[in-house]
Chain A
Amino acid sequence: MDVLKLGSYTFSSRLILGTGKFSNSTVMLDAVRASGAQLVTVALRRFNRQQAEDDLFGPLSTIEGITLMPNTSGASTAAEAVRAAHIARELSGSPFIKVEIHPNPQHLMPDPIETFEAARILAKEGFLVMPYIAADPVLAKRLEEIGCASVMPLGSAIGSGQGLATSEMLNIIIRESTIPVIVDAGLRSPSEAAHAMEMGCEAVLVNSAVAAAGHPPEMAEAFAEAVAAGRKAFRAGLMEKSGFAVATSPLTFLGTF
């Protein structure tokens, strides 16, 4: 059985769905169901009396087979992320935490130093730490060393829809990693998700591409199928690339066959 292993948890779905940016929670819940996702990200927000319907915990917990992966968005330092993780675990009961620390609210690029620090503390406390990082191969290895459950490098900037702009770096991260590599952020189309899986990613995390699609539940399903197809292709083994152009024969020193 080909499953995604994170800590002692296993998942048959390799699509992780974010729940932000949907027009309303009915559409979001439909999209979660359609995606078949078993890991779903949520964010911590201050309770607001005027908008009680904001709470997602109740509705999401009615969908069977869902494990929540709270994120630490809003944190701009390691201390804030650790604090958010503790509260999130209290609320969700889930050991998963997506460490996401972006000091700049415009581009939302992750801070590598604060992320590393928060991940180190949380991993030691027993969390299954899923750090959202720039596609930096050395940072990925450092995070692996301190016991993260996966690394989640970005394909391109959050919400940018630029696809796998970092594919060269992603290839290195995938090649060198002993923990699952999950592409998080930047994907726009299911074909990009399939491509990430063909490259050897263990899963992809998608949010904007579904939430901002014309018909989110349908797009969620399309992503699920693309991820499954990409994974199948990876396991089947892509055929060899066709040969390199040869200008001159450099092998005269070997003599004839």
Chain B
Amino acid sequence: MPNGIRYPNVDSLYNLTMKEMSQIITIELNGEQQPLPPDSSVNDLLSIIGSDGKSLAVVVNDSIIRPNNRSTHQLHQGDRVELLIFAGGG
């Protein structure tokens, strides 16, 4: 993988047109690079990674994106996205 960049989920990119391919953006998802089709919303990202978005907190560039805004909140090149859940802890 060039420049240490990992594309953990490229399946969703297979049916893009050439034009769309050229417009692919890269965001930082939980500290790793994640390519996304252009004009992707938070919900698009969630479906790409196979999450229903329930019991999941979404933080984009230090702003919490609530569930009812996830379909309209567009992601941009270089956005830092954190997806957080509750796990065991004391």
Contacts and interface: CB of A to CB of B under 8 A. Distances in A.
Interface of A: 18-22, 25, 28, 41-47, 49, 52, 54-58, 60, 68, 70-71, 73, 83, 86-88, 90-92, 158, 185, 205, 207-208
Given A58-B54, A86-B64, A46 B82 contact: yes
Contacts of A91: 55-57, 84-86
13 contacts: A45-B87, A49-B8, A54-B85, A58-B54, A58-B55, A60-B86, A71-B90, A73-B90, A87-B57, A87-B64, A87-B82, A90-B66, A91-B55
A157 to B, nearest CB: 13
- For the complex of A and B, the 6 pairs showing the least CB-CB separation, nearest first, are A43-B89, A18-B90, A207-B90, A57-B55, A47-B83, A45-B87
B23 interface: no
Nearest to A87: B57
Interface of B: 8-9, 30-31, 49-51, 54-57, 59, 62, 64, 66, 82-90
B86 A44 contact: yes
B86 A56 contact: yes
Contacts of A45: 84-87
Q: Which of B83, B88, B90 has the most CB of A within 10 A?
A: B90
